[in-house]
Amino acid sequence: MLLSQLGEFGLIDLIRKRFSDISTGRMQGIGDDCAVIPCDGKHSLVVTADMSVEDIHFLRDAASPYLLGRKTLATNLSDVASMGAAPVATFLSIALPRDISAPWAEAFVEGYHSLSAEFGVPLLGGDTTSSPDKIVVSITAVGRAADDTIKYRHTARPGDRIFVTGTLGDSARGLLDIRQGRTDSEFAAIHHDPVPRVREGRWLGLRPEVHAMMDLSDGLASDLVHILEASDVAAEIELENIPTRTSVELAVTGGEDYELLLTAEGDAADGLVRAYGEQFGILLREIGRIASGSPAIHWKRQGQEIAPDWHGFRHF
Ligand code: ADP
Ligand code: MG
């Protein structure tokens, strides 16, 4: 059987099942944006690992090393934020081909440092090796939060309203621009330098009316399904309400937006939107609601259900 038949999530599931005989105790592992490790009875550490591989996640000639350093860190800080946690530290492992120059490596470190400094997150370790051909960057990020403020994927409930923290599809449109030679467009800049919603995630974590949360890395059509499957609920999404500056299809299937996707108690959501607006100067955008039913997204246009063939990025 080819790996493409198993798929990325099939392989993760195989790993999860193989390890089900070893107790995790009170720790929670595979399935959320971060693992959760209780520490003092009231707080937990959250831990995520994310890898970026040349020619899969980035092209060496299209990405400046400085921005690559920022982006690889941003994807990890985004996973910490999506749990409602504050980042504590990161670990950086890099494998570099021998033909990479010292200035390239210095610029990468400068970029990684600049985003670390913006959020005051120290680098505590990692690993450095040579690589036969491609650049590989693997980052582990650790965060911390009070146990009752940590947000998961399995806690969405029927009646919840669904929100996102910003416009969707900008990064995917940026990637199209880059491929078509418009490397200096506004969207290309967003694709190369996404802003992780670190403060927003922490703030949303502290709000009890927020039930489930994750970050959008593979596109809404693929990512929302993880919340639905974990919570055993369905979703109705109003396509006209998806905030986007590009096509709805790119907004829904495009990856790497690193916005937060959350569900909130229906009655309390108006207050949440108001408070969020006062705090951050922009509105949470409501895109639909959680309903009871088997895990599936019901896409609606002007109230009518449509059946598009949408999916997010596939590795295998
Ligand atoms: P994200 O996009 O939020 O980083 P992923 O889709 O990469 O999440 O992973 C989904 C879940 O599967 C996460 O909980 C992650 O820790 C887990 N996971 C992914 N790859 C592996 C692996 N090789 N071994 C164990 N767990 C994994
Ligand atoms: Mg994630």
Summarize pLDDT for 58-98 with one digit per residue, the tens: 989 888 999 999 999 999 999 999 999 999 999 999 999 99
**pLDDT at position 312 over 70:** no
> Is 158:291 a contact under the CB 8 Å cutoff?
yes
Q: How far is it, in rounded angstroms, from Cα 191 to Cα 175?
A: 6
Q: Which atom of ligand 1 is nearest to the CA of 32?
A: 14
Calculate how far, in angstroms, residue 99's C-alpha sits from the geometric centre of ligand 2. 32
In this prediction the pTM is: 0.95
52: CA distance to ligand 1 center in Å? 13
Cα angle 28, 33, 35; round to 5: 25
* Amino acid 12: pLDDT: 93
Res 1: pLDDT: 81
Residue of the nearest CA to atom 16 in ligand 1? 30
DSSP state of 84: T
Q: How confident is the model at residue 313 (pLDDT cuts 50, 70, 90)?
A: low
pLDDT at 300: 96
**Closest ligand 1 atom, CA of 30?**
14
CA within 13 Å, CB half, 199: 8
Average pLDDT over all residues of the chain? 95
Q: 12 in ligand 1 pocket by Cβ < 6 Å?
A: yes
CA-nearest residue, atom 22 of ligand 1: 12
What pLDDT is recorded for position 86?
98
| Spatial CB neighbours of 203, under 8 Å, sequence gap ≥ 6 | 276, 279, 280
Task: Give Cα 94 to chain centroid, integer Å.
Answer: 21
| Dihedral pair phi/psi, residue 144, rounded to 5° | -145, 145
User: Is ligand 1 within 6 A of the CB of residue 15?
Assistant: yes
Residue 52 CB–ligand 1 contact under 6 Å: no
Model pLDDT, residue 62? 83
- What's the pLDDT tens digit per position in 207-223? 999 999 999 999 999 99
Are 53 and 67 in contact by the 8 Å Cβ rule? The answer is: no
